[in-house]
Amino acid sequence: MAVFDDTSKEKLFIYPHKIEWKDGKIPVAHKAEYYTVEIEQKEPLKEEMRHFVECVLERKTPRTDGEEGLRVLKILDKCQKSLEKSSFTTLATSPYIHIHKSSATNFFVHPSSYIDEDVVIGEGTRIWHYCHILKGSKIGKNCIIGQNVMIGPDVRIGDRCKIQNNVSVYKGVTLEDDVFCGPSCVFTNVITPRSFIERKHEFKLTLLKKGSTIGANATIVCGVTIGKYALIGAGAVVTEDDPDYVLYLGVPARHSGWVCKCGVVLTHNVKSKSKEQLTCSNCGSRYILDGERFLILEEKI
């Protein structure tokens, strides 16, 4: 339990009380000594008025507003109705109180996750357990953000992306539409990091183009571009730019073939004059390889 006492010097007190169930039926309370949480010594009402004036003068979006207040009332109303019916009513599709202002309200965020201010989340996106979306980040529509994912700050995620469990998408990384990031894949943003040297000004940009796939536990060294519909194998370490539709495997990752838009490795080869034609055994899409370029002839999907 947290208690805020504005008349006290310490202000914020945490009481880590617990409830244990005897024989699974009888609740037994265990009280604990409080501890304090250090916070800035400011006057809440003065800070609130200062923020209001700042928003008016600089045309900033306030941390909260009447619209958010209405959303809170809707949540409280659902809680009350659930109590009256003696049944459980899920609030999963409603924005939670700790979610800051966003451009959309019809997305899902698990209550264990936290969304910073100035974050935009697209319609239909689902953010699961223990995630943290940092300030200034933008996530597109119909994305799936798995458990224990960190995004930001100032990261751009396109529409329909899937980021699996235990992935950190750092500042400088951009995902276009339909990108898949496998479990525990790794991004970086500094080439030669030192804990005692500030190198934020040296961040290198990493771009994952539309439809690309990063396998589980793969590492993408910063400063590279992953081409459209490219497929990076599990555990690979990518240190250079990858062209469209390429298959990269190994440590360090090397060009190991080509993949169809549907994700199947292209193995059906037909020689056409001086160029090589490849056909997908799964969807029937046909491609032509012209030097280092990879162009679609007939797409089935």
**pLDDT tens track for 245-299:** 999 999 999 999 999 999 999 876 665 555 678 888 888 888 888 766 676 766 7
**pLDDT tens track for 99-150:** 544 444 689 999 899 999 889 999 999 999 999 999 999 999 999 999 999 9
**pLDDT tens track for 140-159:** 999 999 999 999 999 999 99
Q: Is the pLDDT of residue 48 over 80?
A: yes
> Which residue type does 84 have?
E
* Full set of structural domains in the chain with CATH: 2-85 (no CATH), 170-259 (2.160.10.10), 264-301 (no CATH)
How many CA atoms, within 13 angstroms, populate the side-chain half-sphere of residue 265?
Answer: 9
pLDDT at 167: 97
90 confidence band (pLDDT: 50, 70, 90): very low
Compute the distance between CA of residue 214 and CA of residue 235 in angstroms, rounded to an integer: 9
**pLDDT tens track for 195-212:** 999 988 889 999 999 999
pTM for the whole structure: 0.65
Mean pLDDT for 39-49 is: 81
DSSP string across the chain: -EEE-TTSSS-EEE---EEEEETTTEEEEE----EEE------HHHHHHHHHHHHHHHTPPPSS-HHHHHHHHHHHHHHHHHHHHTS----TTSPPTT----S-SS-EE-TT-EE-SS-EE-TT-EE-TT-EE-TT-EE-TT-EE-TT-EE-SS-EE-TT-EE-SS-EE-TTEEE-TT-EE-TT-EE-S-SS--TTS--GGG---EEE-TT-EE-TT-EE-TT-EEPTT-EEPTT-EE-S-B-TTEEEETTTTEEEEEB-TTSPBP-EEEEETTEEEEE-TTT--EEEEETTEEEEEE---
